[in-house]
Structure 1
Amino acid sequence: MVDVLVIGGGNAALCAALMAREAGASVMLLESAPREWRGGNSQHTRNLRCMHDAPQDVLIDAYPEEEYWQDLLKVTGGITNEPLARLAIRESSTCRDWMRKHGVHFQPPLSGALHVARTNAFFMGGGKALVNAYFRSAQALGVQVRYNAPVDAIELDGDRFVAARIGDERIEARSCVLAAGGFESNREWLREAWGQINGEWVADNFLIRGTRFNMGVLLKYMIDAGADSIGDPSQSHCVAIDARAPQYDGGICTRVDCVSLGVMLNRNAERFYDEGEDFWPKRYAIWGRLVAHQPGQIGYSIIDSKAIGRFMPPVFPGTKANTLGELARAMDLDEAKFIDTIQTYNAACRVGKFDHAVLDDCHTEGLTPAKTHWAQPIDKPPFYAFALRPGITFTYLGLKVNENSAVHFGGKPSPNLYVAGEMMAGNVLGKGYTAGVGMAIGTAFGRIAGTQAAQAALKLKEASHAVA
C-alpha cells in the first residue's frame, strides 16, 4: 500500500507529490491524461503572483501582503475567504527557492510589462517547462507516476479516504490528495451552470483555453458523496479570447490584449463596459464573462493604428481595413450603427497625457458606459478588429477546505483526505481573477496538502506498526 496517493498531474498535484515525498512518504501520482498532454492547465501558465516586501531576484520594487490582498479583494468583490487568501499570499513569498530546487527557472524581468515585473515571477519556458521540471524531479525522488489513469470514484469510510478506483481497479493508500481540476471541459455541466438565453445554450459558444481532460468527474463524485462544496458553478477564470481559437488547449496564445486600447462592441455594434477600468493584468479575466452575457456570446475589439506596438502581438492577425465602414462590413456588423458608435465615442474622448503604464487622464465625458482611462479617438487608419469569444480556463466550484487543505464533510475536516488546486480555488476566488493568482493558490495549497497527507499517512503507518 502506498502512503500518499495524489490524483491529478498539474502544478498543485506535483507540488503535493514532491512535498509528500520529501516528508518521507511513498507517493503515487495518477494523471488522467496521456504523457504528452500531462500537466493539466498548468502547462498553459507562465507566471506566479508573488508577495515581496523588497526587490527579490526576478521581482522589482515591492508588492506587500496588504496590496496583494486588496488586489484580490477588488477582483473577487469580497467573495473570498480572507484567512485562506492571506495564507496563499504569504506562501507565495517563500516558494521560489523550493521551486528552483526542483528545476524551475525564472526569467529576468521584462521592460514595459505593465507592472507585472513587480507582481509576477515568470517561468523560463512557461508552464510546460515548469510541469516537465516537476515531473523529472518527482520521478528522480521515486514518486510512482501513472498516465492514462482517470480516477472515477473514491471509496470512503465516513470522512476517511480508503481507496481510489479506476474502473474495476482499486488503489489503496493511507492518505490522498485530490488535485484533478475543475469541470471546464464538461460541456453538459457548463450548460447546466450557465443556462439559456433566448432558447440557446450560452455555454455552446464557449471555447476551452485549458485541458480537455478536466471533466469534473472527481469533483462531482465528492459533492455527491457529501463533501462540503463552495462556489458558484457559473464562475470561472473566463477570458475573452480570439474567436478563431481551437476548441481546447489554446492556452495563453489565444488571448487578445488590446481591449484597453480601443473599444469593445457586441454583435449589435454597441459598447457594453468600461474598457479602461483598470490595468489589463487586473481586468483581462472579466471580459470572458462580459462577452458571455452579450448576444451570441461574441464581442469585437476595435483599435486603430495608434494602438499597434502597445500590446502583446496576438497569434492571429486582426481584420484590417482602411475605413470604419469597410471594417464593419468585414466583421458583418451593421455599418451605420458601427460608425455611429465609434464617432460618438470619439467625440466623448478627453485626451490628456496618454500613458498605458499608469491610470492616465485620458477619459470620456457624457458617455455610457464611460471609458475611464486610455481613451483616445479611433481615427488613425488602418483600423483593426478582433472577434472574441469566452474562453474558460478553469471553474471555481470546488470543495471547502481549512488551512490544512483538508476536505470537509458536514463542517468536519477529513483526517486523511486533502484537496488542492482548481478543485478548491473557489475558497479564495469567488469570482474574478488577477494574473498569476491561480498558480499561487495551487502552489500554496498543493505544498500544504502534500505535507499534511504525508503526516497523516506516516502517523497511520506508525500506529499500525505499533499494533502489529
Structure 2
Amino acid sequence: MVDVLVIGGGNAALCAALMAREAGASVLLLEAAPREWRGGNSQHTRNLRCMHEAPQDVLTEAYPEEEYWQDLLKVTGGQTNEQLARLAIRESSHCRGWMRQHGVRFQPSLSGTLHLSRTNAFFMGGGKALVNAYYRSAERLGVQIRYESPVDRLELRAGRFVAAHCGAERIEARACVVASGGFESNREWLREAWGQNEAGEWPADNFAIRGTRFNMGVLLRDLIAQGADTIGDPTQSHSVAIDARAPLYDGGICTRVDCVSLGIVVNKHAQRFYDEGEDFWPKRYAIWGRLVAHQPGQLAYSVIDAKAIGRFMPPVFPGEKADSLEQLARQLGLDEPAFMRTVKDYNAACRVGSFDHAVLDDCHTEGLSPAKTHWARPLDTAPFYGYALKPGITFTYLGMKVNEQAAVHFGGQASPNLFAAGEIMAGNVLGKGYTAGVGMTIGTAFGRIAGVQAAQAAIKNGANFATA
C-alpha cells in the first residue's frame, strides 16, 4: 500500500507529490494523459502572482497582501472565501525558493508583459518548463509516476479515502490528494451547465478549450455523487475571448486576443455590449469569454485602428486588415450600415484626454451605453484591424469545498485523509472572474498544503516512512 496517492499531473498535483515525498511518504502519482501531454493546463501557463513587500529578483517594487486581496476581491465581486484566499496569497510570498530547489527558473517580464513586472513572476520556458522541472525532481526523489492512468472512481467510507479504481485496478493508499482539474473538457457537462439560450442555441457547443482535453471532471462528478460538499457555479470559469480560428483543445495563451481595451468589441449584429476599458487587461481579460458566450452565435469582433499597433502582444494569427472601416465591416461579414453607426456613435462620444495605457487614464466616452471608461480614442486612423472572437474555456470553478488544510468536506465535516488542490477546489477562492497568475497561486499554495497534510494523515494511518 502506498502512503499518499496523488491523482492528477499538473502543477497542483506535482506540488502535492513533492511535498508529501519530502515529508517521507511513499507517493504514487496517476496522470490521465500520456507522457507527451502531461501537465494538464499548467503546461500552458506563464507566471505566478506573488505577494512581496519589497523588490525581489524578477519582481519590481512591492505587492503587499492587502493590495493583492483587494485585486482578488474586485475581480470576484466578493465571491471568494477570504480566509482561504489570504492563505493562498501569503503562501505565494515564500514558495519561489522551494520552486527553485525543484528546478523552476524565473525571468523578468518581457515586452508586452511589463505591466505585470510588479505582481507576477514569469517562468523561464513557461509552464511546460515548470512542469518538466517538477517531473524530473519527482522522479529523482522516488515518486512513482504512471501515465495514461485515468481514475474512474474513489472508494470512500464515511468520508475517508480507501482506494482509487483505475480501470480494473484497485489502488489503496493511506491518504489521497485529488488534483484532477475541472470539467471544462466534458462537452456534455458544459451543455448541461449552460443549457439553451433564448435563440435555441447551445452556447457550449461553440466553446474552445484553451487547455488539456483530459479534464473531464470524472472525479469531481464522482465526489459530488458521494456527498462531498461543493462550491461554485458550474457556468463560471476562467473564460477568455480567443481567436475564433483557435483549435478545439490546447491552443493555450497564443490564441488570446489582447487588443480589446484599445478599441471596441461588437457582436455579430455590430453592436457593442460591454465596457472595453473597465480595468487593466490582466484583471479583466478572463471575463470576456463569458461575455462573448452570451452573444448571438457566441461570436464577437475586436476592432482597432493603427494607433493601437505596438501596444499589445500580437496574436499568432493576423486579423483582418482594411484601409477603411466600411471595407473592414465587409471583410468581417458584419452589416456595414449597422457597423458604421456603432463606430460613428462611439467616435462622437470619445472624450480624449491624456492617453496612457499603463494607467487608468482619463480617455472616456460620454452619453454612450455601454460606456468605455478608459483608453477611449476614436477609430479614425487607417489601416483598421478586426479579430473574430469566440469563448475559450481555461478551467471551470465548480469544485470541492475545502478548509485551510485542503481537506475535502462531507456534510460540513473535513475528511481525515482526502485532500483537494488546484482547479478542482479553485472555486473556494474564485467564485467568478480572474486576475493573471492567480490560478497558479492557488494550485501551488494548496498543492503544497495538501501534500504535507496527506503525509501527516498517512502517519496517523500507520505509514512506515522511508527516508525521502
Q: Smaller-chain TM-score range?
A: over 0.9
* Residues 174, 463 of structure 2: 8 Å contact kept: no
Counterpart check, 1:435 vs 2:426:
no
Aligned residue for 1:100? 100
Residue identity in the other structure for 1:58? V
Q: What corresponds to 1:377 in structure 2?
A: 378
| Partner residue in 2 for 1:340 | 341
Deviation at 1:111, TM superposition (A): 5.6
SS at match of 1:200: coil
The question of whether the paired residues in 2 share the 8 Å contact of 1:114 and 1:357 is answered with no
- Tell me how far apart the structure 1 counterparts of residues 31 and 175 of structure 2 sit (CA, whole Å): 17
2:365 aligned with 1:360, yes or no? no
The one-letter amino acid paired with 1:424 is M
Contact 1:202–1:292 (Cα < 8 Å) also in 2: yes
The one-letter code of the counterpart of 1:87 is L
Establish whether residue 179 from structure 1 lines up as the match of residue 179 from structure 2: yes
How far apart are 1:109 and its partner, in Å? Answer: 3.2
TM-score when scaled to structure 1?
0.98
RMSD: 1.0
Instruction: State the distance in 1 between where 2:387 and 2:75 align.
Output: 25
- Which amino acid counterpart does residue 48 of structure 2 have in structure 1? L
Q: Deviations over 1:129-169 (max 9, x none)?
A: 00000000000000000000000110111111010001110
Q: C-alpha displacement at 1:115, in angstroms?
A: 2.6
Q: Percent identity?
A: 80
TM-score by length of 2: 0.98
Query: 1:121-132 residue pairs with structure 2 within 5 A?
Result: 121-132=121-132
Map of 1:46 onto structure 2: 46
Deviation at 1:110, TM superposition (A): 3.3
CA distance in 1 between counterparts of 2:84 and 2:317 reads: 39
SS of structure 1 residue aligned to 2:362: coil
Q: Equivalent residue of 1:320, what SS?
A: strand
Q: Distance in 1 between matches of 2:404 and 2:207?
A: 34
State the shift of 1:16 in Å: 0.1
Q: Kindly provide the amino acid, as one letter, of the partner of residue 391 in structure 2.
A: P
Paired position in structure 1 for 2:249: 248
Map of 1:238-317 to 2, 5 A cutoff?
238-317=239-318
Specify whether residues 332 and 462 from structure 1 end up closer, same or farther in structure 2 by C-alpha distance, changes over 3 A only: closer
Q: Which amino acid aligns with 2:178?
A: L
> Where does structure 1 lack aligned partners over 5 or more consecutive residues?
none
1:350-398 deviations in whole A, cap 9, x for unaligned? 1111110011111111111111110111010110000000000000000
Aligned length: 464
Equivalent-residue separation in structure 2 for 1:205 and 1:111 (angstroms)? 32
| Number of the residue aligned with 1:87 | 87
1:112 Cα offset (Å): 6.0
Partner SS for 1:28? strand
Equivalences for 1:140-289 in 2 at 5 Å?
Answer: 140-197=140-197, 198-289=199-290
Q: Find the counterpart in structure 2 of residue 322 from structure 1.
A: 323
Amino acid corresponding to residue 221 of structure 1 in structure 2: D
Q: Secondary structure at the match of 2:118?
A: helix
Cα distance in 2 for residues equivalent to 1:112 and 1:418: 38
The CA distance in 2 between the partners of 1:35 and 1:88, in whole Å, is: 29
Render the CA deviation track for 1:64-99: whole Å, top value 9, x for unaligned.
Answer: 000000000000000000000000000000000000
Tell me which residue corresponds to 2:396.
395
Aligned amino acid, residue 248 of structure 2 = Q
Quick check: 1:114–1:279 contact (8 Å CA) kept in 2? no
- Offset of residue 201 of structure 1: 0.6
Does the CA-based 8 Å contact 1:399-1:407 persist in structure 2?
yes
Structure 2 stretches lacking a partner, 5+ long: none
